[in-house]
Structure 1
Amino acid sequence: MLASTTITIDKLRLAPGRLSVVAMVAAVLFAVLACSPPEPVRIGFLAGLSGRVADLGIGGRNGAILAVEMRNRQGGINGRPIELIAEDDEQDAELARQAAGRLLASKVEVVIGPMTSTMALAILPQFNAAGVPLLSPTVTTNALSGLDDEFFRVVAPTAAHVFKSAEYHFRENGLRRVVLVCDLSNQAYSESWAGDFRTAFEGMGGQVVGEIAFDSGQSLAALATTVLAAKPDGVIIIANSVDTALLVQHLRMRAADLRIGTSEWAATERLIELGGRAVEGLVVAQYLDRDSSAAAYLAFRHAYRERFGHEPGFPGLTAFDATNVALDALAARRSGQTLKQALLAQATFAGAQSPIQFDAGGDTQRDSFLSVIRNGEFKSLH
């Protein structure tokens, strides 16, 4: 409802009968204006919604949709409905910049996304220039750590958690000679993750005997042959779920007992769907505690499955968290305060599995978890 509407009739000289008509028109106009729906609060979502990273983007978009729908059922933000505008970056830097431009032209208050580190680096300058926060559910590159910019994230940078994978593979999985396989389509992430793994693994006495980069979609049969040429006792794949599943199949055909691990990027249900029997025994890092009994998480998971008919996985969870963080900050923002200032002023927000606390650079700490695929399911390794 509009607070007030003032209509002034200045120096009108009308016959008595005409004056009543003007009064009636004014009353109708006032009623129409007073009952006009309030302007929505617009927020954006940007991720790869097609191609090999679509599971990440679609899961994230669904998590954002769920958060917005739940908040709108509660009355929106100060009585204003929330409108979510989604764009596909297609995991292409130039297309991502174009999509970001469209979102900014739509006057969004914040954008949830992107879901990959390379896309974040490509579009962040636009958001810094516009003064609009970019709140990512899954970007972890160290290149965006500790900066005074418009970038926020609800997962920790790779330097904070990759050591856990390195330690497990060295101490529990018995690996000593590993090859790292890095997807160049998300180079900012894969190089960051690989660098942190190498530092931790070699610090314990292991050897990285090869670091092989590949372009998503290239011949994975040839890639598997190249990987095995170094005669490693283990392979760590840092890639999307599709390429990971297919590469594991090629590796297993050549070396059935090879021990293989992945980074968190591949840890969606699509990995199991595409990998089939080949991914059994695969050690998979996770941003999601699949055994969590937290009431907020169980409620979220139930609502997500009811709404979309599949598991949320880590993309759905982290995007749900990121969207709620943005909505909470928008609701709490004071007059004259930018959204960035509101995010930093509140600092700590509720997440479905754990609190989200920003430092001055918009970074947070979030635990990671290790799992193994057994009987077609992710099973936690404790």
Structure 2
Amino acid sequence: MKRSVFTALLGLLMSGCAGGGDTPEDTLRIGTIFSTTGPAASAGISSLEAATLAVEEINATGGVLGRPLELINRDDRNDPDRGRAAAQALVELQVPVIIGALTSEATLAASEVSRDAQVVLLSSSSTASVLTTAADNGYLFRTCPSDILQSRLVAQRAMAKSFRRVAVIHVPGAYGTGFASAFEADFTALGGTVTGLAEYVEGQTSYMDLLTEVYTGNPEAIVLAGYPVEASQIIRDYLSSFLVRGTFWFFTDALEDPEFITAVGASGFTFAHEGTGPAATNTAPYRAFQTAYRNKYGKESILPIDTTAYDAIYLAALALEAAGQPEGSSVREHLTAVSRDGTPYGPTEYRQAVEALRAGQDINFEGASGPVDLDANGDVVSPYHVWRISGGRLEILEPSVNP
């Protein structure tokens, strides 16, 4: 998607979601931290679209605690310091729940603020394993699976393809470093050798020197854990100077993004590769989400994090209903409970789920992304799918794989 389209869409979304104007006293605010500018803008805008859709659906059925929801987004530009500032701005608006941030580094920074303010922070896309053990006092949750699962799956698939020497190129920060370390441990345990862990510098116009260094270890395959802008430059440099090496590439979930395809070029993905990402479930809630998203935005939702952002809004709304008040500490106590061990309800059954809660019954929210069963660490466990890029489009090779 081109920058001009980003700008136009951003203006449309933020006119209804940004806050800062007059807000009716009976409106219940929920905060989001999605990058709508910067290197992760395409994913952030897509997540904001999905969250906005969920809010509109909930409001159409009566809102939360008898009040309409208002979504207030703060753009962190995929930057941890901005993520911390965004969380502080939302806390000052007295929101009981914040959905976000988009990336793990920004989420960790934001969690320092939300923890101290006793506000729930529910990320729909931050997968770094360090979030599981973060010092968050129980206020940090996520609707996407941890990279502990993804690293294990990639290691298993590399071994199954008879690769014994694999290098990792990764983005700096919690996401890239955490994934690289976990993959090294998993692949080594299976009998493989990691020939190098190469951290790239963001914002470079060439990664030829990095690739030259990586190839000194003679890897049979390379795992690339990063974001579309720099990852696409790495692949373009590979195509221009290293294609003769015939390397197999593994891509992680953050590269399951049309921006990655566009930046490399649709005709560029003729080399051997595959990617992994949270599996899209072909369930009634998923199909209903796709229909509603298409009707609202005139396009298909193609990013897995769209469904997890959508589900995060519904989980937060149901936890608020269960709490009976818009207090972060009360929401924290009910968020896990509404996600599991009760009567199943999907997004289209939101009003019935609310009635069940008010009748003192246990509910189990089943989302568009699948079961969203939060564990004691605030994590979910879900299968992955395996994808590749063919003819300029994402193609699912295996729809559901459990590490």
Q: What TM-score does the superposition give when structure 2 sets the normalisation length?
A: 0.80
Q: Could you tell me which residue of structure 2 aligns to residue 66 of structure 1?
A: 53
Which one of the candidate residues 319, 323, 329 is aligned to 2:313?
A: 323
Asked whether the 8 Å contact 2:253–2:276 carries over to 1, the reply is yes
Q: CA deviation at 1:149?
A: 2.1
Asked whether the 8 Å contact 2:39–2:77 carries over to 1, the reply is no
Percent pairwise identity: 29
Amino acid at match of 1:374: S
| Structure label with greater radius of gyration | 1
Q: CA deviation at 1:191?
A: 1.3
Q: Could you tell me which residue of structure 2 aligns to residue 11 of structure 1?
A: none
Quick one: distance in 2 between partners of 1:136 and 1:128? 14
> What runs of 5+ residues in structure 1 fail to find an aligned partner?
1-35
Asked whether the 8 Å contact 2:278–2:383 carries over to 1, the reply is yes
Asked whether the 8 Å contact 1:179–1:211 carries over to 2, the reply is yes
1:294 corresponds to 2:283: yes
Asked whether the 8 Å contact 2:125–2:142 carries over to 1, the reply is yes
Quick one: distance in 2 between partners of 1:154 and 1:329? 14
Which one of the candidate residues 178, 183, 196 is aligned to 1:210?
A: 196
Q: For 1:370, what is the secondary structure of its paired residue? A: strand
Q: Could you tell me which residue of structure 2 aligns to residue 224 of structure 1?
A: 211
Amino acid at match of 1:355: P
1:102-181 counterparts in 2 under 5 A?
102-146=89-133, 148-172=137-161, 174-181=162-169
Q: Could you tell me which residue of structure 2 aligns to residue 54 of structure 1?
A: 41
Amino acid at match of 2:148: A
1:237 corresponds to 2:237: no
Asked whether the 8 Å contact 2:65–2:320 carries over to 1, the reply is no
Q: CA deviation at 1:38?
A: 5.6
In the superposition, relative to structure 1, how do residues 234 and 90 fare at CA in structure 2: closer, same or farther (>3 Å)? Answer: same
Q: Could you tell me which residue of structure 2 aligns to residue 18 of structure 1?
A: none
- Equivalent residue pairs, number: 342
Answer with 56-65 or 143-152: which moved more: 143-152
Output one character per residue of 1:194-217: Cα deviation in whole Å (capped at 9) or x when no partner: 112112212222211011111221
1:247 corresponds to 2:234: yes
Q: CA deviation at 1:304?
A: 1.6
Q: Which runs of 4+ in 1 moved over 3 A?
A: 334-337
Quick one: distance in 2 between partners of 1:165 and 1:270? 22
Quick one: distance in 2 between partners of 1:220 and 1:146? 33
1:342-381 counterparts in 2 under 5 A?
342-348=334-340, 349-381=365-397
Q: Could you tell me which residue of structure 1 aligns to residue 275 of structure 2?
A: 284
Quick one: distance in 2 between partners of 1:327 and 1:222? 49
Quick one: distance in 1 between partners of 2:144 and 2:300? 19
Which one of the candidate residues 182, 188, 194 is aligned to 2:174?
A: 188
Q: CA deviation at 1:78?
A: 3.2
1:40 corresponds to 2:27: yes
Asked whether the 8 Å contact 2:277–2:304 carries over to 1, the reply is yes
Root mean square deviation, CA, Å: 2.0
Quick one: distance in 2 between partners of 1:53 and 1:327? 26
> What runs of 5+ residues in structure 2 fail to find an aligned partner?
1-22, 341-364, 399-403
Answer with 270-279 or 136-145: which moved more: 270-279
Answer with 261-270 or 146-155: which moved more: 146-155
